[in-house]
Structure 1
Amino acid sequence: MGTRPRTVAVVEDNPSMRTSVERLLNACGLTTKGYPSAEAFLSHATPAELGCVVLDMHLAGISGMELRRRPKSTHSRLPVISITAIVDDALELKARRVGCVAYLQKPFAAASLIAAVKEALAGDATD
């Protein structure tokens, strides 16, 4: 069993939120790659280089939930930390059912995101 790569994809359509999440994770010694949409992530991300994904659930175009529900591909096998500004218990349940490691509501505590990312990166690389 190997360890997951330490690069975290941040898929967030709000540029300031994406930058904030990336800076927080960079300050913790992690490398990040930001994507402004699910489509950009699907087109440009290299799953083998990524350890996990911080994914906004309410993206324009392909939503975070739609992205996560995609048939089992190399992208959908990555651990996901869901983030959202909308309080929705049904969405949280759906996110957990499709295997999201954590579900964080904006604004979330920095420590909560860091803990979730560390948990995702610590997972078995063969998940």
Structure 2
Amino acid sequence: MNSLSDIVWIVDDDDSIRWVLDKAMQKASIETRTFADAESVLDALQQDVPSALITDIKMPGIDGLELLKKVQEKDESLPVIVITAHSDLDSTVSAYKGGAFEYLPKPFDIGEAVTLVKRAFAARHEQEATQSNGAIAPSSDFLGESPAMQEVFRIIGRLSASPINVLVTGESGTGKELVAKALHKHGPRASNPFIAINTAAIPRDLLESELFGHEKGAFTGAQSLRQGRFEQADGGTLFLDEIGDMPAELQTRLLRVLA
């Protein structure tokens, strides 16, 4: 249930989009205020702050990403939902990097838009409750418009800045390496190497040296120092394809490296 003071501001230079969102929110008993440009929003923010804000990315003058940046500077806990007709990965990741609460591609589902606003209200309330308790809150390579692809974009946006290891699953040909490259491209490791290796294509007796390297003379035939793929990818991203086909003993060693 929404607080009586909850209000969402809607920013879009397209009159029809503003009208549709405004009517949908009113039908859901959500108070709204609409703006045709970012400049008007910034002026209004001098006097008042909404519970959530919806903004388009592509707008004349100050665009949605610049507005997002300015809003974050004023109130970083204000949930901002970014909408765009350009449902591409670059826009998604840029929005998340800028601190967007969520991403809504056009043409959007009205029900989803209402749900996102309600989630934004809940997040705002939780943030305020956390702050009042004295706690500190934790601070394109491919296109797609289907709900499934939009969820992939959201996940990439959230994980791209994280240092954690990521397991990408899917049938052959579904774009697992594209996802890995996108995580690399949009993260802090982008300027460092991206190393891909198909572990199923390398003979098992050579795979360990391929991954971890070896010193000169470490075994018969090791006539020179070899740098392993892990070392080559230092500071960047190592994409290990088909790890399920690796020998079990090598999977164990890999686990020790990743743990």
TM-score (norm 1): 0.87
In 2, the alpha carbon distance for the partners of 1:114 and 1:18 equals: 13
2:27 is matched with 27
Shift of 1:69: 1.6
What per-residue deviation string (whole Å, max 9, x for no partner) do you get for residues 79-115 of structure 1? 1111111122111001012221211111111121111
Please tell me the residue identity of whatever aligns with 2:62: I
1:39 is matched with 39
- Report sequence identity in percent: 28
1:117 is matched with 117
Answer whether contact 1:53 1:79 (CA < 8 A) is retained: yes
Answer whether contact 1:79 1:100 (CA < 8 A) is retained: yes
Query: Unaligned stretches of 5+ in structure 2?
Result: 132-136, 138-259
Q: Please tell me whether residue 73 in structure 1 is matched to residue 74 in structure 2.
A: yes
Answer whether contact 2:22 2:32 (CA < 8 A) is retained: yes
Once superposed, which parts of structure 1, at least 4 consecutive aligned residues long, lie more than 4 Å away? none
- Greater RCO between the two (CA within 8 Å, min separation 6)? 1
2:54 is matched with 54
2:106 is matched with 106
Query: Could you say what secondary structure the match of 1:81 adopts?
Result: strand
What does 1:79-90 correspond to in 2, within 5 Å? 79-90=79-90
Q: 1:78 to 1:5 in 2, by over 3 A?
A: farther
Query: Could you say what secondary structure the match of 1:55 adopts?
Result: strand
Higher strand share: 1
Q: 1:29 to 1:87 in 2, by over 3 A?
A: same
When the two chains are superposed, the root-mean-square deviation of aligned CA atoms in Å is 1.9
Query: Unaligned stretches of 5+ in structure 1?
Result: none
In 2, the alpha carbon distance for the partners of 1:34 and 1:108 equals: 18
Shift of 1:72: 1.3
In 2, the alpha carbon distance for the partners of 1:113 and 1:100 equals: 15
Query: Could you say what secondary structure the match of 1:59 adopts?
Result: coil
Higher helix share: 2
In 2, the alpha carbon distance for the partners of 1:5 and 1:93 equals: 31
In 2, the alpha carbon distance for the partners of 1:118 and 1:39 equals: 25
Shift of 1:47: 3.6
Please tell me the residue identity of whatever aligns with 1:9: W
Please tell me the residue identity of whatever aligns with 2:73: K
The alignment covers a number of residue pairs equal to: 123
